[in-house]
Amino acid sequence: MPLSKSTLADELLNCFKEMKKGDKDERYFADGVAEAIKTYMDGGDVSTTYSGAVPIGPIVSGTGTGNPSVTPPLMANPVFAATEAMKGKGGNSLLSTALQNGVQLMGAGPGTINQTVTGMAQVGWSPVPFVGNSTGMMIPVFVGLSQALDAVFLNMGRMARDGDHDKVMADGMADAIHGLFMGTPVTDMGTGGAAGAVGTGNVA
């Protein structure tokens, strides 16, 4: 199934509402946001096509199937550090920047894409099936994410005191993050029976 913005918004909202119970701290917030994004990314689909040559011969056709894979602590740690630095001071831009940096660390590193690769390779006069794996990464364009998050926090600041701040924040963050990852390019390299295959595609 494709990336679900509503799933992300719901996961974030659950995190924010739990924070209101009084027994949660900044560590819970940082971990909760990172886990919400992981849940969102786990539900995405990767669509990749391959070219090049595998061990048995040149690729005639090849496709990959898989899901993005991200590591929440890579995001949670800088977000936690930012929330600690904000204590008693505020500073939404500090949080926006930390969220952008955290998402970048979590979502753009090697190994964020792992797929099963199947296809046909030319062996002599006939195409022959091949199967292997691939590993690679997403290539999101992070410029502008912190500004989009700044706008979300600014909008919250303008709301009436009795407004649903948690939902506005969850929906706004989901909009910004979904806009970043939906359709983001993917590049990967084949391994095993697909060694030598070069894949390009996107996340949906």
pLDDT tens digit sequence for 168-196:
999 999 999 999 889 889 999 999 999 99
Q: Is residue 116 part of a domain?
A: no
Query: Is residue 37 in a domain?
Result: yes
Does residue 67 belong to any structural domain of this protein? yes
54: left (phi over 0), alpha (psi -120 to 50) or beta: beta
When divided into structural domains, the chain yields a total of 1
Whether residue 163 lies inside any domain: the answer is yes
Per residue in 35-89, pLDDT (tens digit) is 999 999 989 999 899 999 999 999 999 999 888 888 888 889 989 888 888 776 6
* Rounded Cα–Cα distance for residues 30 and 51 (Å): 40
Asked if residue 119 is part of any domain, the answer here is no
Q: Is 113 a domain residue?
A: no
Predicted model pTM:
0.87
Separation CA 179–CA 96 (nearest Å):
16
| Predicted confidence (pLDDT) per residue in 144-172, tens digit | 888 999 898 887 777 667 668 889 999 99
pLDDT band at 10 (very low <50, low <70, confident <90, very high): very high
- pLDDT for res 170: 94
* Domain, as residue range, for 129: 5-108+124-203
Q: What percent of the chain lies above the pLDDT cut of 90?
A: 49
Is residue 92 situated within a structural domain? yes
Mean pLDDT of the chain: 89
CA–CA separation, 156 vs 172, rounded Å?
10
The strand pairing partners of 65, in sequence order, are: 47, 116
Asked, for residue 88, whether it belongs to a domain, the answer is yes
